[in-house]
A and B are shown apart, each in its own frame.
Chain A
Amino acid sequence: MNPILADIYSTVIPSALFVIAAYVLVWAVLLIYVIKVVRGLKKTEEQIAVLEEAVRASRPPQG
């Protein structure tokens, strides 16, 4: 390879892995966190619906 090009690529190619890793890690962790929170929200909403039904059923009938 042309030594000048080799000199240019000597900083570009080895650093690519670190740059890609930095961006991918940030986006991947953010995505996982969003999925975790949204799933947690859905699960908690379902639990609330079941518990509210149980609370209503446990109350003595009025009148």
Chain B
Amino acid sequence: MSKGKARVPEAGQWPDRLAIPALAAGTVLTSAAFLLAFLYAAPVNGAALDAPELVGGVMVTHQQLISQKIFYFHMPVAIVSFAALAFAAYYGIRYLSTREARFDTCSRVAMEISLLFVVFTMVTGDLWTRFEWGVWWTWEPRLTTYLILMLIVIAYFVMRNAVDDPERRAVFASVISIIALVDVPICFMITRLIPSSVHPVITREGGMAPDMALTVVVALVGMMLVAFGLYRLRFREARLEERVQALKEQLDG
């Protein structure tokens, strides 16, 4: 490698060997989180009952808000979507500074993973909203900023399909990935700036109980591993597709 040339990620490097174990470990941890959510983490209490009632050997004094269990997947997938967007923007910046097409491939794959997790966040959040509030959508600050984030990610792929010139496409894509990352702290901080009952600021409200925190951490680590495994598999596929294209051009030439 010549001096000063950027090191580029490639399929077949050591992270690829971790892709399948990461996916397997992620599956185990998310399954464990699912079990912890229902069997270990205490249900959140709703309104007080007129009188306590013994159910399954447990004295129940309040309504049980089972819909809150969605939170144990909802929060981790949201954090993973932010992390994937951070990687997409990082590779976008690397592309803009080096004009090395490989970084554009990395950014595109990271963006694809982030889209997957953004959709998970929206769907799980909407299912909770639908049950608790009786509506599929409400113009609440975080929902609105996260919707904008999802639209930016979708716009990224619409733009990629609309621009034919690879270099222009990569430049535009890199800029959009950076814009998407700018929306991440806005999404994160918005409930601190504009208080919302739908998205409470957990740290401000005394933090999570240890059983809830453990469940969230297990789900978060599991989702991170799943996202990493998916990223490496998809990156390998993208690199092979580029190799197929190069071979076809070689044959045509």
Q: Closest approach, in angstroms, between the C-beta of B46 and any C-beta of chain A?
A: 6
Once A and B bind, how many residue pairs between them come within 8 Å at the CB atom? 107
**Which residue on B lies nearest to A31, using beta carbons?**
B27
Collect the chain A residues with CB atoms within 8 Å of residue B66's CB: 11-12, 15-16, 19
User: B123 near A: Cβ within 8 Å?
Assistant: yes
- Given A7-B63, A16-B66, A22 and B53 touching (CB < 8 A)? no
- Given A18-B128, A33-B230, A37-B233, A26 and B244 touching (CB < 8 A)? no
CA distance A55 to B226 in the complex (A): 37
The answer to whether B236 and A11 have CB atoms under 8 Å apart is no
- Given A3-B50, A11-B64, A22-B70, A44 and B130 touching (CB < 8 A)? no
The answer to whether A51 and B251 have CB atoms under 8 Å apart is yes
Collect the chain B residues with CB atoms within 8 Å of residue A26's CB: 73, 77, 120, 123-124
- Given A5-B55, A15-B67, A23-B73, A38 and B233 touching (CB < 8 A)? yes
The answer to whether B63 and A41 have CB atoms under 8 Å apart is no
CA distance A16 to B240 in the complex (A): 43
Collect the chain A residues with CB atoms within 8 Å of residue B116's CB: 29-30, 33
The answer to whether A37 and B51 have CB atoms under 8 Å apart is no
From A18, A44, A47, B131 is in contact (CB under 8 Å) with A18
The answer to whether A10 and B240 have CB atoms under 8 Å apart is no
- Given A18-B128, A51-B244, A11 and B63 touching (CB < 8 A)? yes
The answer to whether B120 and A37 have CB atoms under 8 Å apart is no
- Given A44-B240, A44-B241, A54 and B251 touching (CB < 8 A)? yes
Within 8 A of A (CB), among B61-100: 63-67, 69-70, 73-74, 77
Within 8 A of B (CB), among A31-63: 33-34, 37-38, 40-41, 44-45, 47-48, 51-52, 54-55, 58
User: B248 near A: Cβ within 8 Å?
Assistant: yes
Collect the chain A residues with CB atoms within 8 Å of residue B228's CB: none
**Which residue on A lies nearest to B63, using beta carbons?**
A11
Question: Which are the 8 A-B pairs with shortest beta-carbon distances?
Answer: A51-B247, A15-B67, A44-B240, A4-B53, A18-B131, A22-B124, A18-B127, A22-B70
Chain A residues at the B interface, C-beta cutoff of 8 Å:
2-5, 7-8, 10-12, 14-16, 18-19, 21-23, 25-27, 29-30, 33-34, 37-38, 40-41, 44-45, 47-48, 51-52, 54-55, 58
Known: A4-B53, A22-B124, A30-B116. 15 other contacts (CB 8 A): A3-B50, A4-B49, A8-B60, A14-B131, A15-B67, A15-B131, A18-B130, A29-B119, A30-B226, A33-B230, A37-B233, A38-B233, A44-B243, A48-B243, A52-B247
